Amino acid sequence: GNSVTQMEGPVTLSEEAFLTINCTYTATGYPSLFWYVQYPGEGLQLLLKATKADDKGSNKGFEATYRKETTSFHLEKGSVQVSDSAVYFCALSGGSGGYNKLIFGAGTRLAVHP
């Protein structure tokens, strides 16, 4: 079945450092890919999405490119801030698994220090 694998956290960075959180997926067909963020004490918020190969999703300085050849959707940000500290979830829907649900990775906790 469909699945998502994320790099384990926590990821600890200093402010203004470059961020990469790796995400790879297993799916048949053509799923849509998402990054969600969960700030402390809050619900999940959609950060960005991509619906087809080579699409680049971007928001708030974060970017991720849908790479079908490597089945990846890595999240990047050029300069992180303390306010980016949160848990980040990679997710997919669609493909042969249908659009009835999101399948999430385990989440990666990011801690940014001043």
* Residues at the interface with other proteins (CB under 8 A): 32, 34, 36, 42-46, 49, 51, 89, 93-94, 99-107
Q: Least separation, in Å, of the C-beta of 82 and other proteins?
A: 22
Our CB check for other proteins shows the closer of 32 and 80 to be: 32
Our CB check for other proteins shows the closer of 25 and 36 to be: 36
Strand partners, 13: 112
User: Which phi and psi angles does 44 have, rounded to 5°?
Assistant: -75, 140
Residue that is written with structure tokens 């959609």 in the block = 46
Our CB check for other proteins shows the closer of 33 and 80 to be: 33
Residue 72 CB-density burial (10 A; 0-12 exposed, 13-18 middle, 19+ buried): middle
Q: Least separation, in Å, of the C-beta of 61 and other proteins?
A: 19
Tell me the residue type at 98: G
